[in-house]
């Protein structure tokens, strides 16, 4: 994922603080496009979600200035994964998923169209690189992809629905044991092959 950030600047003219256009863009986005998810203790950083699913973080890097200084808004998550079923399976692969994070793009391959863990994953520098490979190797074009929400915190990236390693929520993972969120409750389960 290529990070997008908007950094506001202040100018002091005639004893007055003048906010630049980036400050105004941030203010407009917060007012019209973003929903507040959480704030840090003290309120110096806040996380927001855009109506496109992307997650943004608002901070004040010049907090020594009166009022916290000018704002900085940075996109910290693309917010959406992409999934596509192959019309002609190749090497047993029937479905592909793309997931972006701060380190790049992951491509997952599945031998099943049901929700399950991936058979394999590959890393790409950009989403575009992964999509080009999918078109060349599997015949998946951009319009074949469907967007799905990114996974919940501590959940597996390759499952569609919320699935996590048991104990990952409290820092004591029990590798080999999975939990699925069913009717608002985490329930241990055995994945089917």
At 176, the pLDDT band (50, 70, 90 cuts) reads: very high
- Answer yes or no: is pLDDT of 61 > 90: no
- Rounded mean pLDDT of 71-86? 85
Q: Which tens digits make up the pLDDT trace of 102-113?
A: 677 899 999 999
Q: Write down which residue in 61, 77, 93 finishes a domain.
A: 77
**Residues 116 and 185 reside in one and the same domain:** yes
Q: CB count, 10 Å around CB of 29?
A: 16
Whether residues 98 and 49 fall in one domain: no
Among the ranges given (68-82, 110-124, 161-175), the one the predictor scored with the smallest mean pLDDT: 68-82
Local confidence band at 79 (pLDDT 50, 70, 90 cut-offs) = low
Same domain, 84 and 73: no
Mean pLDDT on 114-139: 93
**Looking at the structure, do residues 86 and 167 belong to the same domain, yes or no?**
yes
77-103 burial: b if 16+ Cβ within 10 Å, else e: bbbbbbbbebeeeeeebbbbbbbbeee
Both 148 and 175 in one domain: the answer is yes
pLDDT of 94 reads 97
Which of 62, 77, 92 delimits the end of a domain?
Answer: 77
pLDDT per residue as tens digits for the range 127-152: 888 999 999 999 999 899 998 988 88
In the chain, the number of structural domains is 2
108 and 182 both lie in a single domain: yes
Average pLDDT value for the chain: 89
Confidence tier at 2 by pLDDT (50, 70, 90)? very low
Dist CA 79 CA 99 (whole Å): 9
3-state secondary structure of 73: strand
Is 17 found in the same domain as 88? no
Query: Are 103 and 3 in contact, with CB atoms under 8 Å apart?
Result: no
Domain of 173, in residue numbers: 80-189
- Domain endpoint, select from 45, 77, 109: 77
The arithmetic mean of pLDDT across residues 35-47, rounded, is 83
Q: Give the whole-angstrom CA distance, residue 37 versus residue 64.
A: 25
Asked whether residue 90 falls in the same domain as residue 174, the answer is yes
């Amino acid at each position: 994922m290529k990070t997008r950030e908007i950094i506001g600047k202040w100018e002091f003219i005639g004893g007055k603080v003048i906010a630049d256009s980036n400050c105004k863009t941030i203010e407009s986005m917060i007012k019209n496009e973003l929903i507040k998810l959480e704030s840090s203790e003290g309120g110096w950083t806040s996380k927001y979600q855009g109506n496109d699913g992307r997650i943004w973080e608002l901070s004040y890097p010049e907090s020594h200035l009166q009022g916290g200084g000018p704002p900085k808004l940075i996109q910290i998550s693309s917010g959406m994964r992409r999934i596509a079923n192959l019309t002609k399976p190749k090497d047993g692969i029937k479905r592909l998923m793309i997931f972006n994070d701060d380190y790049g793009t992951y491509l997952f391959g599945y031998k099943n169209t049901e929700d399950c863990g991936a058979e394999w994953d590959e890393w790409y520098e950009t989403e575009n690189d992964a999509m080009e490979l999918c078109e060349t190797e599997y015949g998946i074009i951009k319009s074949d992809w469907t967007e799905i929400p990114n996974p919940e915190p501590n959940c597996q990236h390759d499952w569609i629905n919320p699935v996590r390693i048991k104990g990952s929520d409290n820092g004591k993972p029990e590798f080999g044991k999975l939990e699925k969120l069913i009717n608002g409750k985490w329930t241990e389960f055995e994945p089917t092959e």
